[in-house]
A and B are shown apart, each in its own frame.
Chain A
Amino acid sequence: MNDQAKQESNSPIIDVRRIEKIFPGPVVALRDFFITVERGEVLVIIGPSGSGKSTFLRCLNGLEEIDAGTIRIDGISLDENEANRLAIRRKIGMVFQSFNLFPHLTVLGNVDLAQRLVQKKSRRQAAEFSRRLLEQVGLADMEDRYPHQLSGGQQQRVAIARALAMMPKIMLFDEATSALDPEMIGEVLDVMRQLARDGMTMVVVTHEMGFAREVSDRILFMDKGRLVEEGESQTFFRNPRHARTREFLQQIL
C-alpha cells in the first residue's frame, strides 16, 4: 500500500463540514451541520420529525444538492463534477422507508439491473451475484416474484440486496423499518445487524432504540437542522448532556 492509499484508509470515510441545505420557502433543513464517520463504523441518527435526518442522508449521496459546506466520501469530494457524483453514488447504497422497489421488475430484476447498467456485468454474472445476495437476506427462492407479491419485510430485504449489489462501502438506511408491520421489523433488523457485524460502514436513521443501542458505535441527535450532540452509544443513553436530548429520549423511550 502506498502512502497516499494508507493515508486515505485512515481518514474518515465520510467527512461532512458545515453543510447547509435550504429548501424554497425558505425552510432551513440543515444548518452548520458537520460529522465524520470512520470506516466500519455504525452511526445512528435520531431526532424529531422534520429535524433534517432524511435530508442529511440524501445530501450524502447527492440526491439533494447542498447550499454550503463540503462533503467528502472516501476521499472524493461531492461537487458539481458529475463524474464525482456518480463515483460517490457507487460507493453508497441507500435503503428507503418506502422500499422504492421497481414494481415492473422481478426480485431478480431489481437486484440485477444496476449491476448490468452501471457495472456492465453480463446477465449471467449479475444473476449469479444477485442470487448470492438474495440468499444472504433470506430470500433465495423468491427471485421470480414481483414486489407486490411480497410482504413488506421481504420487500425491504430485497431493497437491501439491491443496494448491496453495487458493493457499496457505505450503506444509508432511512427509517428502513418504519413502514413495516411490527412482526416484520425483526427480519429486517437481523439483516442490518449482520451487515454491521461484517464491517459495513452504516448511517442509520431509526426510531428503534433497542437496535440503536445494540448495534451502533455512535449516536447523533439532531434538531431543527442542527447537530445537538453525538457520542458513544453506551454513554449517550446513560447521560445525555443536553436538555433537548433528554426531553426527546424521554418521549420515545
Chain B
Amino acid sequence: MAPMLPMIGGHRKKSKSLDCLLLALVFAATGYLGYRVTMQLHYTWHWGDIPQYIVRFDKGQHRWVANYLLLGLLTTLRLSLYAAVPALVIGLAMALARISRSLFWRMTGRTYIELMRNLPPLVIIFLVYYFLADQLIPLIGADDLLQNLSPRTAHWLSLLVAPPATVTAFVPAVLTLAVFEGAYIAEILRGGIESVDSGQWEAAHALGLSRGQCLRHIILPQTFRQVLPPLAGQFISLIKDSSIVSVISIQELTYQGTQLMASTYMTIEVWLLVAAMYFVLTFPCSLLLGRLERSCARGAT
C-alpha cells in the first residue's frame, strides 16, 4: 500500500490545479455571458424590483405578506408533499400488480407503467387532469361542499391545501402528479422486491405463510432499506416535475414565474430567482439523500 501513497498525493495536487483552472474558466464564461446580455442585448437588470415579488409590505394590514413567488414556492411544496402520498400508494399497488400471479393484474401493472413512461408528461397531465377534474370532482359533489365552508375551515383549507376556489383544480393536479410519479415508484419497489433472495419466499411458504403474509412480513420489510434512497431521489424528481402542472394554471412556482415575466419583462431575473427557489427546495433533499445512501450502505454490510 505504502508505495501507492505518493502517487495518490500527486494525483490530488494535479487535479487541484486543474480544478482551479476550470473554475476560473467557468467564472470567466459567466462574466462574459453577463456582459453580452447587458451590452449586446441591451438588457437592463432590475434586481432591485425583484424582492417585492417574494414578500411585500401590505399597507392595509401593516405587515409583511408573501407575494407571488413565495406563494408559488409554498404551493409547489404542498403539491409535492401531497402528491407523494398517493404516488406511494399507487406505486405499491402497481408494483404488487406487476409481480402478481394473475395475468390480468400483471397486464394492468405493465400497461400502466409503460403508458406513464412512454408518453410525454404534458400529454399525461392534460389527459388525466381533465378526466379527474371533469368527472371526479362533480361526482363527489365537492363544489357544493366547498361553497358552504365556515370561514374558519376555509382559512385552514387555504393554509394547508389551497384557497377554496382553487381546491377543485388543486386536488386533481395532485392526483395527476401522483399517477405520473407512481409509475416510477412502482418500478423502484418492484426492483426492491425482486432483489430479495428467493430463499426468503421459500422459507416463508414452507412455514405455511400465504403470499400476502410473505410480502408483508418478510419481503417488504427487507426491501425498505434498499428502496429508501431511490425513493428519496424520486421525491426530488417529483418536486421538479410538479412544475408541469403550471400548464393547467395551478399557481405553483413555475406558473408564478411565467405570470411575473409576462407582466414585468424581467425575464432573466425572474427565472434565475425561480431556479434558485427550486434549488432551495431540492438541494437539502439531495444532501439528505446522500446521507441516507451512505447510512443505508453501512447498514447493509
Q: Which residues of A contact B (CB under 8 A)?
A: 58, 61-63, 86, 89-90, 92-94, 96, 98, 100-104, 113-114, 117-118, 159, 162-163, 166
Contacts and interface: CB of A to CB of B under 8 A. Distances in A.
A101 B207 CA distance: 12
B199 A102 contact: no
B205 interface: yes
Contacts of B58: none
Q: Which 8 A-B pairs have the closest CB atoms?
A: A100-B203, A114-B207, A100-B199, A94-B206, A118-B208, A89-B208, A90-B208, A104-B221
A96 B199 contact: yes
A102 B203 contact: yes
Interface of B: 197, 199-200, 202-210, 213, 217-218, 221-222
Contact of A100 (B202, B208, B210, B217): B202
Contacts of B200: 100, 102
Nearest to A110: B203
Contacts of A117: 209, 213, 217
A90 B218 CA distance: 18
Contacts of A94: 202-203, 206
A196 to B, nearest CB: 20
A213 B23 CA distance: 76
Contacts of B202: 58, 63, 94, 96, 100
B72 to A, nearest CB: 42
21 contacts: A61-B206, A63-B202, A63-B205, A86-B208, A86-B210, A89-B206, A89-B207, A89-B208, A92-B206, A94-B202, A94-B206, A96-B199, A96-B203, A100-B199, A100-B203, A102-B203, A102-B204, A113-B207, A114-B209, A118-B207, A166-B207
A98 B213 CA distance: 22
Given A96-B199, A98-B199, A117-B217, A103 B207 contact: no
Contacts of A100: 197, 199-200, 202-203
Contacts of A104: 221-222
Contact of A89 (B197, B199, B205): B205
A67 to B, nearest CB: 18
A103 B222 contact: yes
B199 A162 contact: no
Contacts of B218: 102
A96 B197 CA distance: 13
B207 A163 contact: yes
B199 A114 contact: no
B218 to A, nearest CB: 6
A196 B30 CA distance: 80
A58 to B, nearest CB: 8
Most buried by B among A92, A93, A100: A100
A101 B217 CA distance: 13
A37 B199 CA distance: 26
Given A102-B200, A117-B213, A117-B217, A63 B222 contact: no
Contact of B208 (A101, A114, A159): A114
A93 B222 contact: no
Most buried by B among A61, A117, A163: A117
Given A90-B208, A118-B213, 7 more contacts: A61-B206, A94-B203, A100-B202, A102-B218, A103-B222, A104-B222, A114-B204
A162 B200 CA distance: 13
A110 to B, nearest CB: 9
Contacts of A86: 208, 210
Nearest to B221: A104
A102 B222 CA distance: 9
Contacts of A90: 208
Given A98-B199, A104-B221, A113-B217, A118 B209 contact: yes
A104 B210 CA distance: 19
A125 to B, nearest CB: 17
Most buried by A among B204, B206, B213, B217: B206
